[in-house]
Structure 1
């Protein structure tokens, strides 16, 4: 019997299992985050800290978010006072985003939380399994 001829069992499907793992991670993130920061907002802040001033479009690519999603994330970060914007001196049509002092301070406090979140997410795994999982995820993304 060919592999695709076997019965379809949802509990054995990679997409379903990845969704369950993502839901578990999201719940852990929300329980440990500071000031209501979402995982996507945290990712955007980290990318801004790594990159420095950047356009919204570039930030979206760096954080793996589509145009509509990154716009909403940036709007919410600005509303929380975590980012600031300024015109790009090289292109007046474009705005550059950077961390505000509050954003930098929150990000520095969130780094430890980020490690705790990862630790809690990977808690059921052995050190070897953790290394393997991260390597496999990198390979398929």
Structure 2
């Protein structure tokens, strides 16, 4: 089995997922929190539905995660002035700090995960994974 790239990717992804989950749990956070905060930083305020599409998180999980982020004071939800049926989600100043803390945790995981690789090998590995992902999700590379 260990000569099958799909098996190796699956096993590595499972280990990486556990590392990320443990690192974020130490901060009382989940991966969804970081993905949502990063999306708000990188792409700006959005509706809950748009955040789900941008992050690839199922709508019910988006709502639950946004509730947690709201309780922590890391985001704010306000009615959309153009459509009162929707909420616009924005990141707060404390949310920006929270994202920085989680980014440091994520960076620590990347360093641990890729420790056996040289900087050149890391760059090549990330480029190869990106190429594979774009191949498997061709519609995303067109957006």
Query: Could you say whether these structures have the same fold, taking a TM-score greater than 0.5 normalized by the shorter chain as the test?
Result: yes
Of structures 1 and 2, the larger Rg is shown by 1
Q: Give 1:120 deviation, angstroms.
A: 1.3
1:53 equivalent among 38, 45, 57 = 45
Count residues with an aligned counterpart.
132
- Residue 65 of structure 1 is matched in structure 2 by 57
Matching residue of 1:16: 7
| Aligned mate of 1:95, from 87, 91, 95 | 87
TM-score (norm 2): 0.78
Residue 133 of structure 1 aligns to a residue in which SS?
helix
Aligned to 1:11, the other structure's residue is in SS state coil
Query: How far off is 1:87 after superposition?
Result: 0.5
Which structure 2 residues correspond to residues 1-141 of structure 1 after superposition, within 5 A?
10-33=1-24, 35-141=27-133
Quick one: distance in 1 between partners of 2:28 and 2:17?
13
Gaps of 5+ in 1: 1-9
TM-score scaled by structure 1? 0.79
